[in-house]
Amino acid sequence: MANYEDKIVCSLVEDERVVVYVASSTSLVEEARVLHHTSPVATAALGRALTLTGIMGAALKEGQRVTLHINCRGPLGAILVQANSRGEVRGYVSQPLVFVPPREDKKLNVEEAVGKGSQLSVVKDLGLGEPYAGYIEMPRGSIAYDLAYYFALSEQLPSACSAGVYVGETGEVLSAGGFIIHTPAGTPPQIIEKIEDNISLLPPLSSLLWEGKTPEEITGALLSPLPYRIVGEKKLCYHCYCSRERARRTLMLLGREELEELLAEEGRAEVSCPFCNRVYLFGDRELRELIEQGSNRRFDS
């Protein structure tokens, strides 16, 4: 297992137009696996989504947040991942125990589990009121490839994306990581060609990370011999920011009638967080308070 912390390294190439993010995410993905008891193929799918969304988050400014949502046509159901500018990432899949037969080369068939034609959406809450939202139908069911397609189509930003998760025989995550390279319009073709060549020669990311290669070394392999400089580094970690207050607001959304029903039938309510499985309990007295607050609010408006 790689013995360094998960992180994202950001670099700029030559004319400072091309941006390259390389992430190692082994601990992040392993934490998600343990939390959600995911099957190997679900671990691989969720891990790719966590890594790439983590990178998208790292590109944001303080206080901003990105959500990746995949409504799968395959058996995984749905994948939901959120990340912020601090490298804090959380996510889950709706069918964590899914099994699909491996590919002919014995690798996990993530594409099959996600499914061609799945709906992928990216919502960026930039703190400016209405969030920015983009949406595509996934041409392959491959999270990284289709995310590059999303960037080109929805953000007019030609990009290359890759992500890999190496799952061991007993299901544990041995290595995970990914990269996103943005090559905006106007990038000299020889730079794009060089990077494309390097990508085609690059061994699978999960193998490189398993061998102990760092994001800095992988950046070098992706960009050499182009001149580039590393401009930033961020830690990447699994972090859920749910709270009792958020759980209370979720309950409020149920409305008076349903809350009164809960009170009469159960005498309490439970709200569990799908990102970290934490359970928030609201007893008889709190439930009555909520009903009262809800009806006051309605009266005010």
Q: Which residues pair with 70 in a beta bridge?
A: 79, 120
Question: Which string of x and - marks every residue 198-237 that binds Zn ion (by CB under 5 A)?
Answer: ----------------------------------------
Single out the segment in contact with Zn ion by CB under 5 A; choices: 71-79, 142-150, 216-224, 271-279: 271-279
Single out the segment in contact with Zn ion by CB under 5 A; choices: 112-120, 138-146, 254-262, 274-282: 274-282
Which CB, 28 or 174, lies closer to Zn ion? 28
Contact yes or no for 141/118 (Cβ under 8 A): yes
Q: How many residues bind Zn ion (CB under 5 A)?
A: 6
Half-sphere exposure of 190 (CA within 13 A, CB side): 6
Contact yes or no for 202/224 (Cβ under 8 A): no
Residue 18 binding Zn ion, by CB under 5 A = no
Q: Which two tokens stand for residue 277?
A: 């499985």
Residue 55 binding Zn ion, by CB under 5 A = no
Report d(CA 113, CA 300) in Å as an integer: 48
User: E strands of 171-265, at which residues?
Assistant: 173-182, 228-235, 237-238
Residue 273 binding Zn ion, by CB under 5 A = yes
**Cβ count near 231 (within 10 Å):** 12
Report d(CA 43, CA 49) in Å as an integer: 10
Which CB, 57 or 141, lies closer to Zn ion? 57
Does a cis peptide bond (omega within 30 degrees of 0) precede residue 225?
Answer: yes
User: E strands of 64-210, at which residues?
Assistant: 65-71, 78-84, 88-93, 119-125, 132-137, 159-167, 173-182
Single out the segment in contact with Zn ion by CB under 5 A; choices: 160-168, 249-257, 263-271, 275-283: 275-283
Q: Which residues pair with 55 in a beta bridge?
A: none
Residue 280 binding Zn ion, by CB under 5 A = no
User: Could you tell me the smallest distance in angstroms from the CB atom of residue 275 to Zn ion?
Assistant: 4
Residue 32 binding Zn ion, by CB under 5 A = no
The burial class, CB within 10 Å (0-12 / 13-18 / 19+), for 264 is exposed
User: Could you tell me the smallest distance in angstroms from the CB atom of residue 273 to Zn ion?
Assistant: 3
Contact yes or no for 178/47 (Cβ under 8 A): no
Which CB, 92 or 228, lies closer to Zn ion? 92
Residue 242 binding Zn ion, by CB under 5 A = yes
Contact yes or no for 179/164 (Cβ under 8 A): no
Which CB, 89 or 273, lies closer to Zn ion? 273
Residue 271 binding Zn ion, by CB under 5 A = no
Choosing from 151, 275, 280, 282, the residue that interacts with Zn ion (CB under 5 A) is: 275
User: Could you tell me the smallest distance in angstroms from the CB atom of residue 90 to Zn ion?
Assistant: 7
Residue 240 binding Zn ion, by CB under 5 A = yes
Single out the segment in contact with Zn ion by CB under 5 A; choices: 22-30, 230-238, 242-250, 287-295: 242-250
**Cβ count near 61 (within 10 Å):** 9
Which CB, 144 or 276, lies closer to Zn ion? 276
Residue 80 binding Zn ion, by CB under 5 A = no
Question: Which residues lie near Zn ion (CB under 5 A)?
Answer: 240, 242, 273, 275-276, 278
